[in-house]
Structure 1
């Protein structure tokens, strides 16, 4: 599959108790590995420490949340093949779900599953996943169904969530390898010969076989590292499963069929040169090791950078998937740049308009300047006249009114009252002094024709002679009769 735009992705696999991550990029027909990481004994370190180391790896690559595919061990996933009549591509999901309970030994509703079409076109091409895959020349469509227990999927998803590692896809190693080796498989089938892939892991081996219009077969060979069989026994088991695969696909047995090998080193490197084996062992990639162990991680990274590639199974629930492409904010940035340009244009437009308008106002001001200067002179003269009149009025009020008020107070205050101070500020009058009866003084002030609202402004005191010391505040009447 050719990529029109550069795509990047990360593949993750757990192998030999270690965490492996592979970062790859693809563009057009090129696919290359950029970097990789390994966390040894990841279970001892715990999810948080693994997450910290993984995020450092992402930061070094300038990534935040790329499409990330986790390769699930074949031992944890059941892989079943179903056949349906052609033309059912749009109804495959419902058809598979109808038969799902018969495909696994677990309780109903306790599994997660995903399906993809395995199709061969013109006897040479492996089809894409889902209803968008290629169609065969036969009347049937073969569908691969991956089934895993929900508990296993949820526990693994929880581990990634606790580690704060964003993941996008859980897929089984088998289908990842088939997608990664699609071109090699197509090239082999064009020769008219079947394609066999032997993938070895810690738990054993899996033999995959496919042929034009014959579909896909999978045979498992369980092995244990605690009690590893002899090399002759392994070869005999592989030869037996090869015969079974030929029989299942109804092929004529080949004397020494080519078997593409990868994974754990169950077979010695010398097997590639041996002519005594019942098969011809070759590496999956020309020039690579016969026991290339990192093939699953690279295949997962390939699937991450070819998200619509063949057999793109995904067992991770949709709500747990995380992905943020590098160009996710490109439309936002483009729109922001456009807004900035428009804002600059609008700002420049306003400045030009303001400059033109200011020139117009300046011309009008110069035309009106003689009249304005004449009005300013008249206004200044009026202000001087008003200030002079105000001064005369203040002088009149401040000079005449206190004398009249004093004259009235002299006539109305009790004979024994003595004013010590009289303050006159604006329309407020404050007087203080002594008298035998301060109340009589307050009554006299209240009856004044010049004052109103008379009241004591402080507490009364007594002199040693027994007279009352008062302080009275009053307000000038607005209209004096």
Structure 2
């Protein structure tokens, strides 16, 4: 998974037009940024091609991106070679292929560019299949010169069948056979990938309704496929609608509106992902390579900005945590003193309560004595008290008198009693005395 976004431009040459796809890969996701078709491009002069291509790349800000080119299958040849798995080393495999290039190529060795690629054999495998692409220099050199004159970064080139096989493998893996059919104006080109081998076909003609089934049938026979249900079928091309072909939805974002983008997207994938079909026909010394070191200051600045943002984000919580730790340590240091103060405060509160209770008792005693003294002073002769109770400044007396009503009035008129009331009805005893029970409140004395 790439943690730095990477963007690649793929160009497919199909008929007289160029199809350009800009693909971005980041964090395991791929997105088609744009797809364009330069109609009639191959009909332009070399000078006009360079101007047109440079203007297009400049308009859409693509000049800084690496470009991978997919050439039509008829411009070169593709061959699969099988070697024992014991050959092993990459240099040994490439040397073995180099010995056979002269027999495989219809052109002289000094007139071609070639490349080979392969998938490492599975554990326990007995053979390895090497995919070889060959293209005449007379075909590829003008395109290398075109991109140089337009000051664009042509980094790689491959034949269409190899490019499609690479795209299918990157998207869906190699477990299920896949057939790619490109219905273009004037021809049908196809490829079938099964068990690490490529079977290709090219049929010229204008009747797509007949060419497409014929091409598919021939590919299936070559690959020994009995039914189309065994295949993953990918169709595209300018004439795919005329043939009644429905493009397959690709597993990348924003690709639903680009029906003919499959070939260009596969070319762009050559610069983003690896597979056993990823080849590059441009020799190393002729490939346009940008100096990645020039991006180091940009990445360093981006990293510094990220670190600064992270620092700013964690600064306040860190300060709060540090402050909380300091406060906690100070509280722990003051804990013994605080406990001592708390104990003394508790003792003081208890003393205050006892003092308050004592004060209540003393005031209650003074009021009780004052009430008794007042009663002895104001009660008329012929009045006897049989009981006396005092609680919470409330006095209750019972006794006998010649006139209970006069006793109630005398108590009410006293300066230290108020709210004098009978607590029960007045009765007369055998001696002619009124028996009474009176309750009154004792006023606090200042």
Q: TM-score, normalised by structure 2?
A: 0.58
Structure 2 residue 299 is matched with structure 1 residue 299: no
Query: Per the alignment, do residues 147 and 320 of structure 1 end up closer, same or farther by CA in structure 2, a change over 3 Å counting?
Result: same
Q: Distance in 2 between matches of 1:33 and 1:310?
A: 23
Match of 2:25 in 1: 26
Report SS of the residue matched to 1:13: strand
Distance 1:19 1:282 in 2: 19
Report matched runs for 1:452-467 at 5 Å. Answer: none
Which residue of the partner structure matches residue 151 of structure 2? 164
In the other structure, the counterpart of 2:250 is 285
**CA distance in 2: counterparts of 1:320 and 1:304, whole angstroms:** 16
1:123 matched residue in structure 2: none
Deviation of 1:22 (Å): 2.0
Q: Is residue 196–residue 259 contact of structure 1 (8 Å, CA) maintained in 2?
A: yes
> Hey, what does 1:142 align to over in structure 2?
129
* Equivalent residue number for residue 168 of structure 2: 181
Report the Cα distance in structure 2 between the residues aligned to 1:268 and 1:336, rounded to whole angstroms. Answer: 49
Q: Is the 8 A contact 1:196 1:208 kept in 2?
A: yes
Within 1, Cα distance between the matches of 2:145 and 2:34?
26
CA deviations over 1:264-287 (Å, ceiling 9, x no partner)? 355557856xxxxxxxx8736379
Deviations 1:144-195 (A, max 9, x none): 0000112212222223223333311111122222222225542x72xxx533
Q: 2:285 aligns with which of 316, 319, 325?
A: 319
Matches within 5 A, 1:180-259: 180-186=167-173, 189=175, 194-202=177-185, 204-211=187-194, 214-224=195-205, 228-229=206-207, 231-232=209-210, 234-246=212-224, 253-254=226-227, 256-259=229-232
Determine helix, strand or coil for the equivalent of 1:283. Answer: coil
> Whose Rg is larger?
2
Q: 5 Å matches for 1:2-81?
A: 2-60=1-59, 62-81=61-80
Distance 1:139 1:57, change over 3 A: same
Deviations 1:82-133 (A, max 9, x none): 011114232111010011111122224321100000x3xxxxxxxxxxxxx4
Match of 1:404 in 2: none
Distance 1:315 1:271 in 2: 34
Query: Whole-Å Cα distance in 2 between the matches of residues 19 and 230 of structure 1?
Result: 21
Paired residues in the alignment total: 299
What is the aligned partner in structure 1 of residue 236 from structure 2?
263
Shift of 1:17: 1.7
> Could you say if the C-alpha distance between residues 138 and 284 of structure 1 is closer, same or farther in structure 2, counting changes exceeding 3 Å?
farther
Task: Quote the offset at 1:8 in angstroms.
Answer: 1.0
Whole-Å Cα distance in 2 between the matches of residues 335 and 237 of structure 1?
A: 53
Contact 1:6 1:25 in 2 (8 A): yes
CA distance in 1, matches of 2:83, 2:61: 45
| Aligned pairs (5 A) from 1:345-384 | none
Unaligned runs of 5+ in 2: 303-446
CA distance in 1, matches of 2:36, 2:243: 29
Mean Cα deviation higher: 21-30 or 328-337: 328-337
SS for the counterpart of 1:322 is coil
Give the C-alpha shift of residue 31 in structure 1: 0.9
Name which of structure 1's ranges 143-152 and 88-97 shifts more when overlaid on structure 2: 88-97
User: Residue 235 of structure 1 aligns to a residue in which SS?
Assistant: helix
Q: Which runs of 4+ in 1 moved over 6 A?
A: 286-291, 333-337
Do 1:208 and 1:216's aligned partners in 2 also have CA atoms closer than 8 Å? Answer: no
Instruction: Tell me if the contact between 2:188 and 2:215 (Cα under 8 Å) persists in the aligned partners.
Output: no
8 A Cα contact 2:69 2:267, kept in partner: yes
